Amino acid sequence: MGTAVERTDEHVREYLIYRGFTNTLKHLDNDIKADKEKGFRVDKIIDQLQQFVQSFDLAGLKEYWLYLDKRLFSRLEDVYRSTVNKLRISLYRYYIINTVQKGNLEKTQEFFQKQASELQGQAEWRDWFILPFISSPEQNPAFCQYFSRQWSDTFLVSLHNFLSVLFQCMPQPVLLSFDAEVQKMTCLVEENEQLRQLLFALQTESRDQRDRDEMIHHKLPTYVQNMDRLGDTELG
């Protein structure tokens, strides 16, 4: 979907330039630069979340996730709310683990201080408040799995897959449907051209083979050329 959105954006820009709508074009370019949905490019959304995590920007991380929740997740049926909640919990844990691994205990403590009122009543976080006070949490049975590369990779892949499916299932505007039809027609044209070239090559090969057969036939002695027309009595 992301690629289709980028192409459609370019089509709209081309039209605005053609029409001379320069002010509208400026607003469009500004909106594209500030687009938090990143043109529905899942990889770019994941990159943005990771940038917040790596820079210890808790406020930015919370704000961005809240935007995604209001803009995208809130449209989902209630049955998917538990999945969204699990992903949010994993995202916060991903953030905390990064602060510990980078040795930034101040940011670890800051997270629990700012999130205490929200998380204290949640069973998923009951044991996590002791994390800043454990000397080697990566060796603690309760937390060691979260420090593994396998856990972080699994979380990122799960988030990526969830967003991908979400974008694929979202209702699309007419312009994006038009782009899909154009791409389909382009593929058909390319396929027809390939078949035409293949047919031409086969026809050329067939003509060449006939020419070679005729050349060989002409080089044979006369009596050999006429052997297929001779009766058995004439061969004796």
pLDDT digits (tens, 9 = 90+) for 112-151: 999 999 898 899 999 999 999 998 999 999 999 999 999 9
Give, for 82, the enclosing helix (H) or strand (E): helix 81-101
Q: Read off the pLDDT band of 153 (50, 70, 90).
A: very high
Calculate the CA dihedral of residues 140, 142, 143, 145 and round it to 10 degrees: 100
Q: What is the model's pLDDT at position 214?
A: 61
Distance between CA atoms of 94 and 50, rounded to whole angstroms?
Answer: 9
Q: Are 62 and 85 in contact (CB under 8 A)?
A: no
Q: What is the model's pLDDT at position 95?
A: 97
Q: What is the model's pLDDT at position 40?
A: 67
Q: Is the pLDDT of residue 56 over 70?
A: yes
Whole-Å CA distances, 146 to 35, 41, 68, 142, 210: 32, 27, 24, 9, 72
CA angle at 39 for the pair 178 and 17, rounded to the nearest 5°:
65
Q: Is the pLDDT of residue 160 over 80?
A: yes
Q: Phi then psi for 85, rounded to 5 degrees? A: -65, -40
Query: Looking up tokens 């988030």, which residue turns up?
Result: 159
Q: Are 17 and 25 in contact (CB under 8 A)?
A: yes
pLDDT digits (tens, 9 = 90+) for 61-99: 999 999 999 988 988 888 889 999 999 999 999 999 999
Share of the chain above pLDDT 90, in %: 44
Neighbouring C-beta atoms of residue 172, cutoff 10 Å: 18
Distance between CA atoms of 143 and 147, rounded to whole angstroms?
Answer: 7
Q: What is the model's pLDDT at position 189?
A: 77
